[in-house]
Amino acid sequence: MDAPSTPTPDAILRRLEWTVIRRLDGVLQGDYRTLFRGAGLDLADLREYQHHDDVRHIDWNVTARLQQPYVREFTEDRELTAWFLLDLSGSVDFGSARSKRSVSAEFVAVLARLLTRHGNRVGAMLYGDALGEVLPPRGSRQHVLHLLQRMMKHQAKQASTTTQLEDLLRRAAPLMPRRSTVFVVSDFLSTPGWDAALAQLSLRHDVLAVRLYDPLEMALPDLGMVTLQDAETGEQFMVDTNDPGFRSRYEKGAEQQEDALRESLARAGVDTLELSTDEDLLATLLRFVDLRKQRMRLNSGAGMPAHLKGNTTGGRHELRVA
């Protein structure tokens, strides 16, 4: 019997347009600008400063005259530019139910098509073991298909290197001259140091960290003697998953790595969306839509929901969808 063929980018996008994108469009009902904002150039109004406003928008002349802080509000650019910084290193090919790469591709397809069908442009930077192809921002469905095709074909070339996510983030900044919405899609299994680069990127852009993970990375089942291979270095070793002590040590190490990752994301001060290989993409995105709208209400000066109080990172509110 022939092995099942890999779906084409067009087949993947058609399925997602029918099952996910139509639902999201229905939820947003033309209100997608509450999720993704343009850079904003024209002064629209002045209002009193409220606790969570950006201090960079304070109008100091009006503040001095009225002896009360006032902030400027701007009309937004009609066109939004979004960038996808895509980690396609060896570790994203791992997955139990499905690979992290396939989850990444579906997320990118949904968001890119949702944006382009509203007249916006999307670009991408692909990273394997080094920064590879750069796709300049464009706004057509054909461009989304091209992006999907490049994601599916792009492979890390070396099996003896570890991911240097910092390189992707540092080299991305000069390629984005204007304020953009940036999606950093990665499992964040990288050498340390990327959190500072991510924080620097967020000073100019609206950044969302999209973290990919698989349940087997958190806990191993009892499978007896198995051979494990490091997806990035190629190193192989035998382990006895029947040993409760080994599984316990594995879970403890995974917990420590998880804590370190969350601390790094917290230091970067960016919103985080977590995508698991065994969860429904639509359900996760609907939760993200709800939390993103809450963030926009906070930034516009509305009151903070009770369940978000005290959940701040570096002066910003961390909205985490797990």
Q: Which of 70-84, 164-178, 225-239 has the highest mean pLDDT?
A: 164-178
d(CA 42, CA 28): 25
Phi, psi of 317 (to 5 degrees): -90, 130
User: How would DSSP label each residue in 134-194?
Assistant: EEEEE-SHHHHHHHHHHHHH---S-SS----HHHHHHHHGGG--S--EEEEEE---S-TTH
Token readout for 297 is 């209400």
pLDDT at 316: 35
Query: What is the value of pTM for the model shown?
Result: 0.76
Confidence check: pLDDT of 257 > 70: yes
Kindly state the average pLDDT of the residues 32-40: 57
pLDDT at 91: 85
Kindly state the average pLDDT of the residues 29-43: 56
Average pLDDT taken over every residue of the chain: 79
Kindly state the average pLDDT of the residues 16-20: 91
Q: Which of 13-27, 181-195, 207-221, 291-305 has the highest mean pLDDT?
A: 181-195
Confidence check: pLDDT of 118 > 60: yes
Q: How many residues does the chain have?
A: 322
Least confident of 29-38, 121-130, 157-166, 284-293: 29-38
Kindly state the average pLDDT of the residues 247-253: 79
Percent of the chain with pLDDT over 70: 73
Confidence check: pLDDT of 269 > 50: yes
Strands 206-213 and 181-186: parallel
Amino acid at 53: D
Percent of the chain with pLDDT over 90: 26
Which residues partner with 206 through β-bridges? Answer: 181
